Structure 1
Amino acid sequence: MSQVNSTAYKPATPEQFAIAQQFLSWEAKLLDERRYWEWFDLIDDSIEYLVPLRVAKANYADETPAGAFRIFDSKDLIKVRIKRLDSGAAWAETPPSRTLRVVGSLLVQQTEQADVLAVESALIIYRQRGHDERGDIIPVRRQDQLRLTDNGARLLKRNALVTEVVLNTPNLGVFL
């Protein structure tokens, strides 16, 4: 799953780092405020949004079996998910989750493509629904690719690896 290559690490410029940091912070705010269509506008048309399945193994590199995903979405599938959330018929999100996303541990590096940045981040989502006594905490390590365009950064690829092997949250009805 590792995207940031430590042997050939080419750090981003301070300006590129700031773009990535601003993008992820803005994205977190939009998702926490359920402004899904505004978030959708930040997605590249050729997005790959992946949440791989994780299994407990002695060797960390073997924890994500090839081809096994909790979520494997394109832009069209993300649009369907957002429409469903807007419909009021998304039972997994009734009542809607109240979330707080904290993004940190940012690593940003240049790629072979001048207009694409590789961005790795840690994400902690606090999520509560209805009158639940306690909320869920969902820890995630994300590896993203951001395309730099004249209209700002766009999310080109996301690989969101949930830290937990067995989910302690009832569903993944929220965007990671």
Structure 2
Amino acid sequence: MTAAATSRAVDPVTHTVIAQFLAHEARLLDEGREEEWLDLLDDDLLYTVPSRQSAEPRSNEINRAAWRIRDTKAHVRTRVARLNTGHAYSEVPPSRTMRLVGSIEVVPTSESDVVEAHSSLLLYRQRGIDVHFDLIPCRRNDRIRLTDKGPRLLVREVILTETSLKTANLGVFL
């Protein structure tokens, strides 16, 4: 690790806490425990999936003024509540998922109670009796608030690897 990278690293305990948080979050979502997952979200949550342009140079391919998803905690709560109505047709039958979270890098911010966590996610998704499955790779740029009740997801920006999604929808959380 370079001196510059070391100076931006958090202490090992904080890194472990954040890695455990990300793993716990993935397990809750994979087990369909979205109501419990909501408790891990900060009230000021902003969850975005910006558009990615394939014809742009790599340095300019993420359009943060255009989103596939741009949700606050209230929007996320509505999406979760809708899952239980039988009218969330993109999730009837419910997706079976497995999230593999890795390449976790945690760095401090100028706010003593907030860290940045950068991770990769590979989401396996299979729907009911469908014979096919989706693999959705992405990078996640999170801001996580450290509270007395544990870490809370404050901001999540999901950068999809693919510019054209092969999955039918993004009815699951990344």
Using structure 2 for the length normalisation, give the TM-score: 0.95
For residues 132 and 7 of structure 2, the distance between their equivalents in structure 1, rounded to whole angstroms, comes to 41
Counterpart contact for 1:144–1:158, Cα < 8 Å: yes
For residues 96 and 44 of structure 1, the distance between their equivalents in structure 2, rounded to whole angstroms, comes to 26
Q: Trace 1:60-99 onto structure 2 (pairs within 5 A).
A: 60-99=58-97
Counterpart contact for 1:118–1:143, Cα < 8 Å: yes
Which letter does structure 1 place at the counterpart of 2:61?
A: E
The structure where strand makes up a greater share of residues is 2
Shift of the 7–104 alpha-carbon distance from structure 1 to 2, 3 Å rule, reads closer
Show the counterpart of 2:18: 20
Identity %: 46
Show the counterpart of 2:163: 165
**Aligned partner (choices 96, 110, 120) of residue 108 of structure 2:** 110
For residues 64 and 51 of structure 2, the distance between their equivalents in structure 1, rounded to whole angstroms, comes to 9
For residues 49 and 122 of structure 2, the distance between their equivalents in structure 1, rounded to whole angstroms, comes to 15
Unmatched 5+ residue regions in structure 1? 1-5
**Aligned partner (choices 132, 145, 148) of residue 147 of structure 1:** 145
Q: After TM superposition, where is structure 1 displaced by more than 3 Å over at least 4 residues in a row?
A: 6-9
Is the partner of 1:88 in helix, strand or coil? coil
Show the counterpart of 1:51: 49
For residues 24 and 174 of structure 1, the distance between their equivalents in structure 2, rounded to whole angstroms, comes to 16
Q: Which digits, 9 at most, give the CA deviation of each residue in 1:48-95, with x for residues without a partner?
A: 100001111352121112310000000100011001111111000000
**Aligned partner (choices 135, 154, 157) of residue 156 of structure 1:** 154
Counterpart contact for 2:30–2:97, Cα < 8 Å: yes
For residues 94 and 166 of structure 2, the distance between their equivalents in structure 1, rounded to whole angstroms, comes to 18
Which letter does structure 2 place at the counterpart of 1:145?
A: R
By how many angstroms is 1:7 displaced?
7.4
Counterpart contact for 1:49–1:73, Cα < 8 Å: yes
**Aligned partner (choices 14, 18, 30) of residue 28 of structure 2:** 30
By how many angstroms is 1:124 displaced?
0.2
By how many angstroms is 1:133 displaced?
1.2
Is the partner of 1:113 in helix, strand or coil? coil
Q: Which digits, 9 at most, give the CA deviation of each residue in 1:99-139, with x for residues without a partner?
A: 00000001111111111010000000000001111210000
Counterpart contact for 1:9–1:109, Cα < 8 Å: no
Show the counterpart of 2:121: 123
